[in-house]
Structure 1
Amino acid sequence: MADPAATPPHSPLAHAAHRLAAATRASRGALRLAELPFLAQLNVRFDPKGPAADAVALALGLAPPTEPGTAVHGPDGPTLLWLGPDEWLLVSRPGSQGEWEGRIRSACADTAPVAVTDVSAQRTTLLVAGPRARDLLAHGCALDLHPRAFGPGRCAQTGLARTQVVLVARDAPGAGFWVLVRSSFAAYLAEWLLDAATEYGAPAS
């Protein structure tokens, strides 16, 4: 009998990988669409004015952002997204959630309360990049996505095609956007993106 623990994880959009890649090729450089599966995601809560703030910053190697709707990207470490006055989402490489949770809990053990919850299984991440990425997302998002309003280093909990997402404008030039979506809605959102991408040369479904 097979060991269930040995079964490799299955991403919510594994079935759509070839279609996302085909849409990327067909857009002739205008778009890049892909799933970034299994990213580590930790919900972290603490008092930003208390001693836990410094302890978390030391543990992660970067200070949690305190300005609403902003993100801080570590060069080789995690990304921290501001979700609320005392709430952040840590996003990092697949499989690293245990490492980061251990670091945070160890750093805060003797300082102040901190709540760390592994939410990695709740969402998957879609990458939307390329010169027409903002135009594509604007078809279904009510946010002003102009670079002056939603430039690199911004994030928001918002709606995209009637689906609740966390939208992140990446820092690096040409890095595009992360769209963090609940796994149960991922297939629907991928279909919407593929349909909207036909305007930019992607093949029709």
Structure 2
Amino acid sequence: MSSLNAENHIGLSPLQRCAAIDLTEVPRVGFRGPDSTAYLLARGFILPDSPNRAVTQADGSHVARLSQTEYLVLGSLLDRGERIADEEARWEMDHYANYLLPREDSHGWLQLSGVYIAEVMAKLCGADLRPQAFAPGAVAQTSAARINVIVINLGSVATPVFQILFDRASLDYFRGALMDAMGEFDGAVLGIDALI
């Protein structure tokens, strides 16, 4: 670790400096189809206006719009994802052309937080995820550590946070790659209780 980075770390908590938390056990679900927008609006969600954008809901859950007709909904830590798990359980094919995409089995989910998250991701990913290019609410569908990832900027200038989703079978591999990239920045791996 360089002396410059060491100086910058003074007084910052691990979450503020550089931390990864595994959220893979928190419910998440996808919806796709020509009526997916109407369906989610009817279920009370606030939706992004355009693809590759995300919106945080009043209950702390998040909706990311991946295309004109596909959404990814991430559960809130406030209720441990219960609302989203209920949405998935209650879904049925009705008068909406809207298809359920179960994501708990298909996608791993890591949160990366702290002032060094753009630098950490630059070691793994060719996309420019610096704040000036990738503002809060932005979604990038890209490649990192040679696997496909969805990176969602759900932080703020004061508290930078990326939610990163990827093939669940690659969870151990990607977590290891992320931890290696975090090493220069004195990164920490924390438990989910650090967020509650």
TM > 0.5: yes
SS of the counterpart of 1:194? helix
Q: Which moved more, 1:184-193 or 1:28-37?
A: 28-37
TM-score (ref. length: structure 1) = 0.72
Partner residue in 1 for 2:181: 196
TM-score (ref. length: structure 2) = 0.75
Confirm or deny: 8 A CA contact 2:48 2:55 kept in the other structure. Answer: yes
Partner residue in 1 for 2:40: 56
- Equivalent pairs counted in the alignment come to 172
List runs of 5+ in structure 2 lacking aligned partners.
1-11, 189-196
Change (3 A) 1:82 1:28: closer
Change (3 A) 1:130 1:46: same
Deviation at 1:75, TM superposition (A): 2.2
Pick aligned residue for 1:92 from 43, 56, 75: 75
How far apart, CA to CA, are the structure 1 residues paired with 2:110 and 2:185? 18
Partner residue in 2 for 1:101: 88
Change (3 A) 1:180 1:55: closer
List runs of 5+ in structure 1 lacking aligned partners.
1-24
Q: Deviations over 1:30-66 (max 9, x none)?
A: 211111131222221132xx6x63342130331x324
Deviation at 1:121, TM superposition (A): 1.4
Partner residue in 1 for 2:163: 178
Calculate percent identity across the aligned residue pairs.
22
Partner residue in 1 for 2:30: 43
Change (3 A) 1:58 1:31: same
| RMSD (CA atoms) | 2.7
Confirm or deny: 8 A CA contact 1:28 1:201 kept in the other structure. Answer: no
Over alpha carbons, which structure has the higher Rg?
1
Letter in 2 for 1:168: I
Change (3 A) 1:159 1:95: same
